A and B are shown apart, each in its own frame.
Chain A
């Protein structure tokens, strides 16, 4: 341990101002602080500080995403095997999943972190940990077959224009991971929708991997493509399937169980707001049942929770502390509207099968307005109370 510290101390001057590689200062600092909590002491204000820092907070989010990621890897292989009637065992399934998903992660992290490091360097800031989460999220919310170059462009767009232009993590208006998805969705719609993009290998037509034809019964459509009882039954999607997550969809969004595991971690550690999660579920159920009651859909409200990316968005994306509402009361309103809008789009807008992404991005936009109203109300209410008390 001391050896490592000595090594770091030895190379440190090279990266400091005036050193040979001084221009890489932020990069070096990022790696150093990854290994060691820095030796800086408090100079102003409270002399003692809590030992929690953003690295710890962010790593908790990353850990909470691991179940969804692992299941996504398995499901990628499983859907492929199903599509081609291959009857693969566990390891071939996982192997296929890894081959498909790892490149997504490589692209996401390499492109995103390269931009983060560069911009930290240019500004002379420390590298912020925020992208560790965004980079983890992005591969989980795209179709597995998305071309890597498209993903790279989308990530670059989201990080540069969605985040760095605003001043980096903590300053952004929209969730960078969702912005990546939105960029793909509007720029390359053919790779983001339809029945063939959600299962690995299907988009390429004939399967190049194993050479077999697509199994007869297999359509590749997600449950959301046919959101009726009959439509779901036609494709063999039962509630249990959707709960377990053994259906086509974006890599990480399908399994309710894996997402709930993540939610338990997020709520247990207090990293994400339970108010947003709960109110989003309430909003989704409310509109879901409203649609059910007035005949716009024959699916009971709770189906909306298990289909598509609703739960994934609710647990991991809507709760992003930077882009969601910041006031406690605002969180209830924000969450409710996210859930309600997402299901509204699903039920009443025939153009978009899934509404979660747009609902969250829209509410990200309005979150500051919600906070503004909540604060104004609270201040004027208090002013009145003080007057009455007088």
Chain B
């Protein structure tokens, strides 16, 4: 393709534990959880009671602000526990799955025969609407509006990310059906971004009714936010939607089979995963279910998602709604003698040339969760821009977020970013500043003030 977008800035993190391209097990769900915390800014409304029977596709909660947005149970079974936190905040709806799965029948529909309202209704009633994420802010899409366009990233560059081609290779027809359906919801078309290196080899380049783009470059070239920035930047007042390939497959299945079927192949990865590989399971799966992938769970961190912007869920936690990857890391709560003063420190990776890991570009590292230093003020100014392939001034945006200055946040581009786009800035920061959570707070402030 001629209009390849070449991104120079960024960093591929050489962490060990890439999943081998085989499916080690199909996990029959036991107890799974539906978690409101998977959705940014969601105020949930509970729709089921403990002891109630549900089918796969039965709504279990709704968005209190827009009650037609439903969230469905991924399995059929019985609601065994509703977990609440402080101030009765809803944390998890735990559902014990039956041995045979039954699905709510939403009816097979041909996307080509539906209009926009039909597509919208099908997605809302089935609980698949939350698959659509709105920019700015990364919240669930508002069904009332028509987005400028819909963006899909057909590859991921995040550390150890699941290989989309492998994970979804049997679901081409589903994805095509989903694209046909979503095309009804926007006039701007569906922009799908491919990895330039594998574009001609991937089956997905045959998808129709899309506007294809190719990107090349290190992480975060696969982040949909970065892609939008280069394809069609979001200006104030505009909204675009994003959806992942994994969710497209689920949407396609809804139209082709009439079922809410979110089963997917997920990659179990990370330096502490034993023989990392793929498993087939539903979102909400408990970390305990793949116990043969690890030992000594007390010393480990379980991340639903990738090591940069995933969520730490703990050994008793559950896989997130959008995620198709689990990363297992060692908790780095030990002291390292003379760490920073060692001339070489070859067991650690650094993108900085003050160490020498740039001499061994092929090496992969057993990374842990140690912070490798103490928190400081911003000192070094040029490291952040080198890993952010966006025409923004990261430090200025972060400082505007810290100051809570909405006017400046707008000016510096808060509409175009999500915390995940700043994950690498946070990774390389020698001052150990929690940049992602600062951006998250900034977005929360915007949501509050702009509501």
A binds B: yes
Report the minimum CB–CB distance from A3 to chain B (whole Å).
11
Q: Per-residue 0/1 for A49-67: is the Cβ within 8 Å of any B Cβ (1 yes, 0 no)?
A: 1111111110110000000
Interface residues of B (CB under 8 A from A): 13, 15, 159, 232-233, 235, 301, 303, 307-310, 312, 327, 329, 331-341, 345, 348-355, 367-382, 385, 391, 393, 395-396, 411-412, 419, 423, 426-432, 434-437
Instruction: Indicate if the CB atoms of A1 and B435 lie closer than 8 Å.
Output: no
Instruction: Indicate if the CB atoms of A269 and B381 lie closer than 8 Å.
Output: no
Report the minimum CB–CB distance from B249 to chain A (whole Å).
27
Q: Which residues of B contact A379 (CB under 8 A)?
A: 411-412
Q: Which of B301, B372, B391, B435 contacts A50 (CB 8 A)?
A: B372
Q: What 10 A-B pairs have minimum CB-CB distances, sorted nearest first? A: A53-B373, A170-B377, A37-B339, A45-B436, A51-B348, A52-B352, A37-B336, A36-B335, A326-B381, A44-B437
Which residues from 353 to 390 on chain A have a C-beta closer than 8 Å to any C-beta of chain B? 375, 378-379, 382-383, 386, 389
Instruction: Indicate if the CB atoms of B370 and A40 lie closer than 8 Å.
Output: yes
Q: Which residues of A contact B372 (CB under 8 A)?
A: 37, 49-53
Instruction: Indicate if the CB atoms of B340 and A44 lie closer than 8 Å.
Output: no
Report the minimum CB–CB distance from B17 to chain A (whole Å).
11
Instruction: Indicate if the CB atoms of A126 and B337 lie closer than 8 Å.
Output: no
Instruction: Indicate if the CB atoms of A270 and B13 lie closer than 8 Å.
Output: no
Instruction: Indicate if the CB atoms of B353 and A326 lie closer than 8 Å.
Output: no
- 15 contacts across the A-B interface (CB closer than 8 A): A5-B335, A36-B336, A41-B331, A41-B332, A44-B437, A48-B368, A49-B371, A50-B372, A167-B377, A170-B378, A328-B382, A375-B393, A378-B393, A379-B412, A386-B235
Instruction: Indicate if the CB atoms of A328 and B370 lie closer than 8 Å.
Output: no
Report the minimum CB–CB distance from A218 to chain B (whole Å).
43
Report the minimum CB–CB distance from A69 to chain B (whole Å).
19
Please name the residue on chain B nearest to A327 by beta carbon: B393
Instruction: Indicate if the CB atoms of A386 and B233 lie closer than 8 Å.
Output: yes
Max count, chain B CB within 10 A of own CB: residue among A56, A328, A375, A389:
A56
Known: A41-B369, A326-B395. A51 touches B374 (CB 8 A): no
Known: A46-B427, A55-B340. A270 touches B352 (CB 8 A): yes
Report the minimum CB–CB distance from A319 to chain B (whole Å).
11
Instruction: Indicate if the CB atoms of A47 and B354 lie closer than 8 Å.
Output: no
Cα A47 to Cα B427 with chains together (Å): 8
Please name the residue on chain A nearest to B393 by beta carbon: A375
Instruction: Indicate if the CB atoms of B354 and A269 lie closer than 8 Å.
Output: yes
A99 beta carbon closer than 8 Å to chain B: no
Q: Which residues of B contact A1 (CB under 8 A)?
A: 337
Instruction: Indicate if the CB atoms of A46 and B309 lie closer than 8 Å.
Output: yes
Which residues from 1 to 21 on chain A have a C-beta closer than 8 Å to any C-beta of chain B? 1, 4-5
Cα A129 to Cα B369 with chains together (Å): 23
Please name the residue on chain B nearest to A270 by beta carbon: B353
Known: A41-B371, A268-B353, A270-B352. A54 touches B376 (CB 8 A): yes
Instruction: Indicate if the CB atoms of A47 and B310 lie closer than 8 Å.
Output: yes
